[in-house]
C-alpha cells in the first residue's frame, strides 16, 4: 500500500521506510554548480526542509556506506557528482528559535540552539575529528569557531545547512511592528547577534573550513538588514532551472492519483475528478521571473492524496490546518496603510497587481516606512505564496495572480472579516448564501447586500465606480470551498463570465445548485436620480427604466452564451441557475433569472 510522507521532511526516513519520494535529486548538480553559499526562498510547507535533508544525506561523510541504498535508484544515483559523501554536515533550524520574550531571552534561545547542534555534531563525528570541540554556553559563535578548528586537520570540509533563517525574525515583526521592531533591530543592526552569526559564517567560508552553505527561508525580509554581514551568498530563489525544485508537477500528481486508483479500487472517474479539484485548489504556483512550469503545493497535495487513499474519497476540508496559519500573513498586509486596498485589488482579475521587478530584499525599516509601496506589499505576498507570477506583459512588467482557490480563500476571508466585523452580519450573510446554494434563490443575498454591504462602501479603500464593486460583494459573500469551485472571471470559450459557482465533483451527490452570475453597473448620475429616489422605487419599477432594461438585456445576452458553454461542458449533471444582476450605484440591485 502506498505510504504518503505527509508531515515528514526527513529524507532518510522516506527512503528507508518505504514512503513515496518524488525524486528531486537531478537538481543536486545544478545547485552544486550554482555557488558555494546559496539562499533559496519558498513559501511555508513547500518542501524546503526535505530538500535540506536530501542534501544532508547526499553529502554526509558518515552516510557513505548507505549511498546505494539511499540514492542508487534515483537520478543522482545513476550519475553522482564527485562531492557526494565528502563533507561534515552541520544543520541549524531557526524555526526552533522562539521569538518570545526580550532580546536577552531570544539571544539565549539562539545560542542554545546553535550550541545544541554543535554538540550533536561533536558526538556524530567524534571518531573523525582532529580535536575536541569546546562549547561556550553564552557565545555560540565562539563554539562554531571551535568546531571549525576541530576539523582543520581532517580531509573533510564543512557543509552548513540553515533552515528557516528568517523564521524568528519574521515572527517578531508579525507580532506587531511597534512591539517587535526594537527586538528585531537589536538582533540585526550594528553588532546584533544574528548579524554576528552570519558574519561568522561568511568568515568561515574564507578558508576557515566551511566550503558550502545552503540557507532556506520564506521571504528576503532579513537579507537587507544582514547587508555586509552575509554578502557572499547568492540568492537562487528566482533561477528558472530551479522552479520546480520544491513543489509537485501535474504529471506527478496525475501519476500518484492513477496509482491510488489502481491500488484502492476507486470508482471509475474518481481519479479524474480528484485531479480537477486538486488543480483548482492546489496548483498554479510559478517561481522565477519567467513563467515556467507551475506546480502544486506539496503539503496540501499530500494531505489530499493521503486522505483519498485512506478514505477512498476526497477530504471535505481542502485547506489543511497546517496551512491555515498563512491567514496571519494576509492579515499583516491588510493591517498596513493601504494594505486592505491591495488585498481587495488582488481579487480583481481585470486589473491584476503589476510590478516592474520583485523586491529582492527588505528589512525592518521597509516595514516601518514603506507601507505605501506597492512593490513591497506585492513582493511580500509573492514570497508568502499567496500571489504568484502570471505573465510578463508586452511592456516587460511582471503581472501577478492568486495561484489557486486555497489562496483565494485566505483573501476572501480577510476581506469578509474586515468589511463585516459584526458576527450577526456574517451569520445573516451565510444564511443568505446558503439559500442560494440550496434553492437557487438570489433574493435574500441581494437584500443583504443592499441593506448591509453597500453601507461599507463609503470606505474609499473598497470603492470602485463600476461592476467590480458588485462582483467583489458577491465573491466575498459566496466563496465556499467546502462545496464549490468559485471562480471570478472564468475563461469560457475565450471570453469571461463574471462569476460561476460550480459544485465540486465530489459534492455533486448533494442537492446543491450551480450558479452563474453576470453583472452590470449603472451610476446614479447616468440615471439622473438621487439615492432617495432610487430607494423609493420597487425593483419592478427600476427594471422598467430604459437604462436599466438595456443593461439587464446585455447581461442576459452574455449569460445565455456562457450558460450554453457550461451545459456543453457539464451536461445533465449541471443544476444551473443563471442570473443577470444590475447595480444602481451602491444603493439597489435589480436582477433577472434566465429561464431554462
Residue 104, pLDDT score: 83
List CB contacts of 331: < 8 A, sequence separation 6 or more.
Answer: 414
State how far the Cα of 501 lies from the Cα of 566, in Å rounded to an integer. 11
Cβ–Cβ under 8 Å, residues 256 and 5: no
Query: Across-strand partners of 582?
Result: 520, 590
187-202 residue pLDDT tens: 766 667 888 899 999 9
All three cell numbers of 576, joined, read 444551473
Residue 493, pLDDT score: 60
Coil, helix or strand for 146?
A: helix
The top-scoring range by mean pLDDT among 78-82, 335-339, 585-589, 592-596 is 78-82
Query: Across-strand partners of 496?
Result: 491
pLDDT surpassing 60 at residue 102:
yes
Residue 133, pLDDT score: 96
State how far the Cα of 338 lies from the Cα of 411, in Å rounded to an integer. 15
Classify residue 248 by its DSSP letter.
B
Give 350 or 54, the one with higher predicted confidence: 54
116-170 residue pLDDT tens: 999 999 999 999 998 999 999 999 999 999 999 999 989 999 999 999 988 876 7
State how far the Cα of 433 lies from the Cα of 423, in Å rounded to an integer. 15
Segment holding 257, helix H or strand E: helix 250-264
Residue 333, pLDDT score: 80
E strands present in 173-240: 210-217, 234-235
Q: Give the pLDDT mean for 238-258.
A: 94
Residue 462, pLDDT score: 46
pLDDT surpassing 60 at residue 553:
yes
pLDDT surpassing 70 at residue 173:
no
pLDDT surpassing 70 at residue 561:
yes
Q: Say which residue the cell 565528502 belongs to.
A: 86
385-404 residue pLDDT tens: 999 999 888 999 999 999 99
Give CB contacts under 8 A, 24+ apart, made by 508-513: 508/573, 510/483, 511/438, 512/437, 512/438, 512/483, 512/484, 512/575, 513/436, 513/437, 513/438, 513/439, 513/440, 513/575, 513/576, 513/577
Mean pLDDT of the chain: 88
Altogether, the residues listed in the chain come to a count of: 596
State how far the Cα of 560 lies from the Cα of 562, in Å rounded to an integer. 6
The percentage of residues in the chain with a pLDDT greater than 70, rounded to a whole number, is 90
- pTM for the whole structure: 0.90
Residue 101, pLDDT score: 76
Closest to 380 (Cα-Cα) out of 423, 438, 332, 414: 332
Q: Give the pLDDT mean for 42-63.
A: 96
25-41 residue pLDDT tens: 999 999 999 999 999 99
Amino acid at each position: 500500500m502506498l505510504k504518503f510522507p505527509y508531515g515528514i521532511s526527513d529524507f532518510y526516513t522516506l527512503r528507508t521506510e518505504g514512503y513515496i519520494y518524488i525524486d528531486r535529486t537531478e537538481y543536486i548538480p545544478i545547485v552544486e554548480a550554482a555557488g558555494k553559499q546559496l539562499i533559496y526562498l519558498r513559501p511555508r510547507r513547500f518542501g524546503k526542509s526535505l530538500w535540506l535533508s536530501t542534501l544532508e544525506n547526499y553529502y554526509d561523510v558518515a552516510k557513505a556506506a548507505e549511498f546505494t541504498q539511499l540514492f542508487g535508484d534515483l537520478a543522482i544515483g545513476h550519475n553522482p557528482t564527485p562531492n557526494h559523501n565528502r563533507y561534515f554536515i552541520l544543520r541549524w533550524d531557526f524555526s526552533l528559535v522562539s521569538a518570545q520574550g526580550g532580546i536577552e531571552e531570544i539571544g539565549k534561545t539562539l545560542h542554545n540552539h546553535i550550541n545544541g547542534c554543535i554538540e550533536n555534531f561533536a558526538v556524530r563525528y567524534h571518531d573523525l575529528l582532529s580535536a575536541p570541540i569546546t562549547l561556550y554556553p553564552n557565545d555560540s559563535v565562539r563554539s562554531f569557531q571551535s568546531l571549525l578548528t576541530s576539523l582543520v586537520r581532517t580531509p573533510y570540509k564543512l557543509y552548513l545547512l540553515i533552515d528557516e533563517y528568517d523564521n524568528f525574525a519574521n515572527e517578531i515583526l508579525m507580532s506587531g511592528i511597534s512591539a517587535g521592531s526594537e527586538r528585531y533591530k537589536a538582533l540585526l543592526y550594528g553588532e546584533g547577534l544574528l548579524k554576528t552569526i552570519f558574519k561568522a559564517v561568511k568568515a568561515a567560508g574564507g578558508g576557515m573550513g566551511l566550503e558550502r552553505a545552503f540557507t532556506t527561508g520564506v521571504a528576503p525580509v532579513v537579507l537587507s538588514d544582514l547587508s555586509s554581514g552575509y554578502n557572499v551568498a547568492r540568492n537562487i530563489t528566482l533561477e528558472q532551472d530551479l522552479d520546480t525544485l520544491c513543489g509537485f508537477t501535474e504529471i506527478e500528481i496525475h501519476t500518484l492519483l492513477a496509482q491510488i486508483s489502481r491500488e484502492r479500487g476507486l470508482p471509475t472517474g474518481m481519479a479524474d475528478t480528484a485531479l480537477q479539484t486538486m488543480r483548482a485548489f492546489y496548483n498554479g504556483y510559478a517561481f522565477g521571473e519567467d513563467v515556467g512550469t507551475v506546480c502544486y503545493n506539496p503539503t496540501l497535495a499530500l494531505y489530499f492524496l493521503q486522505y483519498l487513499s485512506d478514505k477512498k474519497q476526497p477530504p471535505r476540508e481542502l485547506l489543511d490546518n497546517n496551512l491555515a496559519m498563512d491567514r496571519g500573513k494576509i492579515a499583516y498586509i491588510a493591517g498596513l496603510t493601504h494594505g486592505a486596498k491591495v488585498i481587495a485589488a488582488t481579487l480583481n482579475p481585470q486589473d491584476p497587481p503589476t510590478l516592474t521587478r520583485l523586491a529582492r530584499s527588505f528589512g525592518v525599516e521597509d516595514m516601518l516606512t514603506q507601507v505605501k509601496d506597492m512593490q513591497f506589499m506585492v513582493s511580500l505576498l509573492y514570497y508568502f505564496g499567496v500571489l504568484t507570477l502570471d505573465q510578463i506583459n508586452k511592456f516587460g512588467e511582471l503581472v501577478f495572480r492568486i495561484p489557486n482557490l486555497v489562496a483565494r480563500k485566505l483573501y476572501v476571508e480577510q476581506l469578509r472579516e474586515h468589511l463585516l466585523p459584526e458576527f450577526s452580519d456574517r451569520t445573516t450573510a451565510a444564511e443568505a448564501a446558503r439559500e442560494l446554494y440550496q434553492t437557487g434563490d438570489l433574493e435574500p443575498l441581494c437584500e443583504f447586500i443592499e441593506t448591509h454591504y453597500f453601507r461599507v462602501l463609503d470606505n474609499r479603500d473598497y470603492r470602485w465606480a463600476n461592476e467590480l464593486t458588485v462582483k467583489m460583494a458577491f465573491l466575498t459573500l459566496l466563496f465556499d470551498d467546502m462545496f464549490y469551485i468559485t471562480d471570478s472571471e472564468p475563461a469560457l470559450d475565450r471570453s469571461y463570465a463574471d462569476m460561476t459557482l460550480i459544485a465540486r465533483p465530489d459534492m455533486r451527490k448533494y442537492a446543491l445548485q450551480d450558479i452563474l452570475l453576470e453583472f452590470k453597473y449603472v451610476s446614479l448620475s447616468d440615471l439622473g436620480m438621487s439615492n432617495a429616489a432610487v430607494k423609493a422605487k420597487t425593483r419592478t419599477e427600476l427594471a422598467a427604466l430604459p437604462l436599466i432594461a438595456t443593461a439587464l438585456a446585455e447581461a442576459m445576452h452574455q449569460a445565455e452564451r456562457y450558460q450554453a458553454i457550461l451545459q456543453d461542458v457539464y451536461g445533465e449533471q449541471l443544476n444551473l441557475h443563471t442570473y443577470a444582476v444590475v447595480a444602481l450605484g451602491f444603493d439597489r440591485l435589480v436582477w433577472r433569472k434566465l429561464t431554462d
